[in-house]
Amino acid sequence: MNTLRTAVIGLGWAGTVHARTLAALPGIELVALADLDPARRASHPDVPTFTDVEAMLRLGLDYCVIATPSTTHEHYALALAAAGVPALIEKPLAPTGAAAWRIHEAFTQAGVFAAVGHTERHQAPITELARLLNIGRFGELWQLTTCRQGPYSGRILDVGVVLDLLVHDVDLVSWLAGEPIESVTASTRVLAGPYEDTATATTMLRGGLLAHHHADWISPFKQRIVQAHTAAGVLIADTVAGTLTHHPNTARPAASGAFPGVAPGDAYAITLAERAAPFTVQHQLMRDVLRGAPVSGLVTLAEGAAAVTATEALLTSAATGLATPVAARQPALT
Ligand SMILES: NC(=O)c1ccc[n+]([C@@H]2O[C@H](COP(=O)([O-])OP(=O)(O)OC[C@H]3O[C@@H](n4cnc5c(N)ncnc54)[C@H](O)[C@@H]3O)[C@@H](O)[C@H]2O)c1
């Protein structure tokens, strides 16, 4: 099979992980890297580097990663679509819903494949949680709760914690539930600034499922939790610890009209299959799709744009104090 010629634009934290991952994967050759910062380019002496992405595209690429700050994604995405080069674009796809849908439109019109780097779907506890919910192992899904806390990385300078971190969670809950987000209510605060650095939100999904979210950059520890309340108890995916735990419900029968509630059973850890690191899984999927495999497991541009649209509605809700619909902000896809 053909070896795919790949490149990465943006050589910060995410771009460096992409470059390392691509360089190590069978069936892929890392042929070029681009960044505006000479020091970043110099830190990759083994691969040709560029400042001018148009010049880099003339090398002929089978796909390219965009790992620059979110506010620059659209510029490079439109250039790749126009050049007919497939792309893996980091999350958030863009800083606004309008920009995200323009990217979607450009690749669709060009007939070029692209996906969004929502790597959290490829964390082993989350992937297994999705599989178990999908096969209905724990019965009806009642509610989702997400918590994503930590210290500010110092890297993200163009958007706040909602677009940087909470966008993972709006993507995850919609994917786990298999339903789009219809409306949001949210509160945010700017503590260290210049953008919001703490946010709390409730998203309502089609069918009425509620998902509760907290994300912040003001905690001196790292926490990444997704809880799924089901009819058979609560599943807790902890991607820092790398665990998935089931806290079973002991069914409490409704007696004489009393509220049945739930009673706790004994918690146990669910065994997780060995999986490659999330960035590796993502590039294995890209490689396989571009070699003709069915598109599966990657986050589509429409899903990435839907996540941005939901976070944008969430910021509107925080600014206005009003519950804000999401669906009306999205184009009807044909
Ligand atoms: N999927 C994930 O888990 C994950 C994790 C971290 C970051 N990200 C995303 O990756 C992107 C980059 O984040 P980061 O943490 O690596 O940031 P970073 O600041 O570490 O790196 C950004 C890099 O882009 C370069 N750059 C800036 N503007 C440029 C331009 N116009 N053209 C070319 N290069 C430019 C900078 O010199 C820097 O090297 C963001 O969209 C972020 O949300 C995703």
For residue 30, tell me if it sits in a domain.
yes
- Phi/psi for 34 (5° steps) reads -135, 140
Residue nearest to atom 3 of ligand 1 (CA): 119
Q: What is the pLDDT of residue 254?
A: 59
Asked if residue 284 and residue 244 are part of one domain, the reply reads no
Dihedral, CA atoms, 197, 200, 205, 207, nearest 10 degrees? 180
The structure's pTM equals: 0.96
For residue 330, tell me if it sits in a domain.
no
Domain CATH number, residue 162: 3.30.360.10
Q: What is the pLDDT of residue 2?
A: 87
Q: Separation of 40 CA from ligand 1 center, angstroms?
A: 11
**DSSP helix/strand/coil, 66:** strand
**What is the number of the ligand 1 atom nearest to the C-alpha of 120?**
3
Range of the domain at 100: 4-120+279-300
For residue 331, tell me if it sits in a domain.
no
Residue nearest to atom 21 of ligand 1 (CA): 12
Asked if residue 130 and residue 109 are part of one domain, the reply reads no
Q: What is the pLDDT of residue 303?
A: 97
Q: Separation of 308 CA from ligand 1 center, angstroms?
A: 17
Ligand 1: list residues with CB < 6 Å: 9-15, 34-37, 40, 67-70, 72, 90-91, 117, 119, 155, 164
Q: What is the pLDDT of residue 214?
A: 98
pLDDT along the chain (334 residues), means of 10: 94 98 97 98 97 97 98 98 98 97 98 98 98 95 97 87 97 97 97 92 97 97 97 96 93 61 84 95 97 94 97 97 86 66
| Backbone angle region of 193, left / alpha / beta, with phi > 0 → left and psi within -120 to 50 → alpha | left
Asked if residue 173 and residue 232 are part of one domain, the reply reads yes
Domain CATH number, residue 41: 3.40.50.720
Q: Are 119 and 167 in contact (CB under 8 A)?
A: no
- Phi/psi for 86 (5° steps) reads -60, 155
Sign of torsion over alpha carbons 173, 175, 178, 184: positive
Asked if residue 197 and residue 216 are part of one domain, the reply reads yes
Q: What is the pLDDT of residue 123?
A: 98
Q: Which mutation among 35, 66, 80 tests ligand 1's pocket best, with the greatest number of atoms within 8 A of CB?
A: 35
- Phi/psi for 157 (5° steps) reads -115, -5
Sequence-distant (6+) residues with CB within 8 A of 44 are 11, 19, 33
Q: How many domains does the chain have?
A: 2
Asked if residue 139 and residue 94 are part of one domain, the reply reads no
For residue 333, tell me if it sits in a domain.
no
Amino acid at the residue 306: A
